[in-house]
Amino acid sequence: MVMNENRRFRDSIYEQLARIGKAVASPKRLELLDLLVQGPRTVEALAEETGMTVANASRHLQLLRSARLVEAGKEGLYVRYRLADEAVGAFLRGMRTLADKRLAEIDQIVRQFLKDHEDLEPVDLDTLLERLSEGAVIVLDVRPQEEYRAGHIPGAISIPLKELEGRLDELPRDREVVAYCRGHYCILAIEAVEVLRTRGFSARYLEDGVLDWRLRGLDVAVGENPL
3-state secondary structure of 135: coil
| CB atoms closer than 10 angstroms to residue 78 | 12
Q: What whole-number distance in Å separates Cα of residue 214 and Cα of residue 103?
A: 26
Q: What whole-number distance in Å separates Cα of residue 141 and Cα of residue 210?
A: 10
Residues acting as catalytic residues: 181
The enclosing H or E element of 179 equals: strand 176-180
Q: What whole-number distance in Å separates Cα of residue 216 and Cα of residue 214?
A: 5
| CB atoms closer than 10 angstroms to residue 62 | 13
3-state secondary structure of 70: strand
- Helices and strands in the chain, H and E counts: 10, 8
The enclosing H or E element of 93 equals: helix 86-102
Give the closest residue to 189 by CA, choosing from 212, 217, 214.
212
Burial 108-145 (b: 16+ CB within 10 A, else e): eeeeeeeeeeeebebbebeebeebbeeeebbbbbbbbe
